[in-house]
Amino acid sequence: MALLELKNVTKHYNGIAPALDDVSFSVNEGEFVSIIGSSGSGKTTLLRCINRMVEATSGEIAFGGIVVSRLGKMELRQVRTKIGMIFQQFNLVDRMSVIENVLHGRLGHKSTLAGVLGIYTREERWQALRIIQMLGLDQQVYQRCDQLSGGQKQRVGIARALVQNPKLILCDEPIASLDPSSAKTIMDHLRSICTELGVTLIISLHQVDVALKYTDRIIGLNRGIVVFDGPPGELTSQRSAEIYAKEPKDVNIDLGERNAS
Amino acid sequence: MQADVFIRRRNNAVVFFAILVVLTAGSIVITQYDLQKGFTSFIKAFIWGASNFYPDAGSLRKLPDILVKLWETVLMSIAATTVAAIFSMFLAVFGSRTTRIHVSFTVIARGIGSFFRNMPLVAWAMILMLAFSQSSLTGFLALFLGSLGFLTRAFMETIDEVGENAVEALTSTGAAYFPVIFQAVLPASMPQIVSWLLFMVETNIRDATLVGLLTGTGIGFLFDVYYKSFDYHVASLVVIVIVIAVLIVETVSNGVRRVIL
């Protein structure tokens, strides 16, 4: 059964052109899906519509059989606890330690008072430590996050998502601000989270080669429209040019330039 | 095109300078300010101050009295600042773009901030004197209201600047409003908030002198009494003591800043 199902999702910001235009697809449990497309093609908006950090203008999003779009505040929080999120800018609280940042992933499961006071159970702390160890950050457990490198910060971000025990993790350009070797570490971790823990991942990426190498399925967005949806094997250079084309007629010109060089 | 930018920049500088000259010359002419007399009387005032406005041996006997009043004034400034900070914190959290519940809260918090900030402290003291007459409560309230306005604005901007990313991350984990505030917003903005608080304490000690002049309390009152009875030696001692007190408070708060930032 599909874990996530999007039907005719459309998002208008104030402009005339929609950020997302009639997007429909479904994602099965355990899939590692990448979303590619040029800047401003709607990748970030698409990811944020799934957990309603951005409200879609119309269309229906179902997660685990529950229609997310119609949920009230409390039920939405319930759903969000099952969806982890990883950010390009890591979005950690820099002045707090690694372990505290990781435990923030448990806040959705706690009562308001326990959350406000930051009271975590022994099991939660053990789980956080186990995940930190798994991601190779055991030396940094009590370090403040502003002392970490970019790659380490992103691993803290991953740990925070994992400690939620999520069914789905949304990764918003997780390697866009990292150097190539840190990026590889992060992608390797994400791949094994999918393969070994069976978590479904949706990742937005700038690099087509990374999408080809790591993910099971690629969705190409161009100006809010899904122009490609299939396994990496089917992504020919013609199709990839379509995804990145500024205008539909530019496709041939782009290819021409590539051949010329 | 590039040359245009440089020409425009130069023209802007010329226009700006011309306006400045016109404003200065214009205000001198309109107020019939005698430039030459202004400078010579400045020197005369300085000579008068040096020959009359200094503490002598006799004035030192008043020192214990002065220190008692100074202590009162310092404590009142700190109390006014900290109490204002508590209220400002609530206003700022509800009014900040990233943590507000509704847009109307921003308007209200900004309005309160602007109103209390833009009303001069002296005006507050005069108005409050009508209700509370010459008492230390009047001074306290005047400082409290001024601080409330300033700190609300400062805190709000700090939270706007610091909070956004971490708020997004914790909200996406399904955390409720108050845990997000206490686990992300406050820890992230605390150093800057404490820094503003210390700045406010320093400013308030200076301003408390002025308010004390009007409300007949604290060290400001003491200065007024000696000044009006032509006892310039003691009056100058009061001024020196205030300067030293402000310097000490500044040194202490700079030390605190170094530790927390």
Task: Please report the ipTM that was assigned to this predicted complex.
Answer: 0.85
What totals of helices (H) and strands (E) does chain B contain, helices first? 10, 0
Question: Residue B16 falls within a domain, yes or no?
Answer: yes
Range of the domain at B34: 7-41
Q: Could you tell me the CA-to-CA distances from B140 to A67, B117, B135 in Å, in that order?
A: 56, 15, 9
The total of other beta-carbon atoms located within 10 Å of residue A36's CB is: 26
Average pLDDT over residues A67-72: 88
What digits encode the pLDDT tens for the residues B102-139? 888 889 989 998 898 888 888 888 888 888 887 888 88
CA nearest A97 in B: which residue? B187
Task: Specify whether B154 is located in the same domain as B182.
Answer: yes
Task: Specify whether B182 is located in the same domain as B106.
Answer: yes
State the pLDDT at residue A255: 44
State the pLDDT at residue A243: 84
State the pLDDT at residue A248: 55
State the pLDDT at residue B221: 86
For A230, the 3-state DSSP assignment is strand
Task: Specify whether B11 is located in the same domain as B129.
Answer: no
Task: Specify whether A174 is located in the same domain as A249.
Answer: yes
State the pLDDT at residue A191: 92
Task: Specify whether B16 is located in the same domain as B135.
Answer: no
- According to DSSP, the β-strands at A20-28 and A2-11 are antiparallel
Range of the domain at A112: 91-165
Q: Which of A165, A187, A208 is the last residue of a domain?
A: A165
State the pLDDT at residue B214: 83
State the pLDDT at residue B87: 94
Average pLDDT over residues A213-240: 88
CATH number at residue A40: 3.40.50.300
Counting as low any pLDDT under 70, the low residues of chain B are 1-3
State the pLDDT at residue A254: 45
Task: Specify whether B82 is located in the same domain as B210.
Answer: yes
State the pLDDT at residue A253: 42
Which chain B residues contact residue A164 at CB under 8 A? 173-174
What totals of helices (H) and strands (E) does chain A contain, helices first? 10, 10
Is the Cβ of B12 closer than 8 Å to some Cβ of chain A? no
Tokens of B152: 């609300």
Q: Which of A107, A141, A165 is the last residue of a domain?
A: A165
> Does A91 sit within 8 Å of B171, measured CB to CB?
no
Q: Which of A107, A140, A165 is the last residue of a domain?
A: A165
Q: Which of residues 149-168 of A touch B (CB under 8 A)?
A: 157, 160-161, 164
Question: Residue B163 falls within a domain, yes or no?
Answer: yes
Task: Specify whether B85 is located in the same domain as B141.
Answer: yes
User: What does pTM read for this prediction?
Assistant: 0.79
Q: Based on the structure, what is the number of domains in chain B?
A: 2
Q: How many angstroms separate the CA of residue A252 from the nearest CA in chain B?
A: 32
Question: Residue B1 falls within a domain, yes or no?
Answer: no
Q: How many angstroms separate the CA of residue B188 from the nearest CA in chain A?
A: 6
CATH number at residue B184: 1.10.3720.10
State the pLDDT at residue B169: 92
- B9-31 burial, b at 16+ Cβ within 10 Å, e below that, comes to eeeeeeeeeeeeeeeeeeeeeee
Q: How many angstroms separate the CA of residue B165 from the nearest CA in chain A?
A: 5
Q: Based on the structure, what is the number of domains in chain A?
A: 2
What digits encode the pLDDT tens for the residues A215-224? 999 999 988 8
Task: Specify whether A39 is located in the same domain as A108.
Answer: no
Q: A with B: how many residue pairs have Cβ under 8 Å apart?
A: 87
Query: Percent helix, strand and coil across chain B, each rounded to 5?
Result: 90, 0, 10
State the pLDDT at residue B1: 53
Task: Specify whether A137 is located in the same domain as A182.
Answer: no
Report the C-alpha gap between A261 and B73 in whole angstroms: 77
Which amino acid type is present at position A117?
L
Task: Specify whether A199 is located in the same domain as A130.
Answer: no
For A84, the 3-state DSSP assignment is strand
Q: How many angstroms separate the CA of residue A241 from the nearest CA in chain B?
A: 33
Question: Residue B49 falls within a domain, yes or no?
Answer: no
Q: Using 50, 70 and 90 to split pLDDT, how confident is the model at A159?
A: very high
State the pLDDT at residue A256: 42
CA nearest B181 in A: which residue? A116
pLDDT greater than 70 at residue A245: yes
Tokens of B3: 């040359």
Task: Specify whether B65 is located in the same domain as B91.
Answer: yes
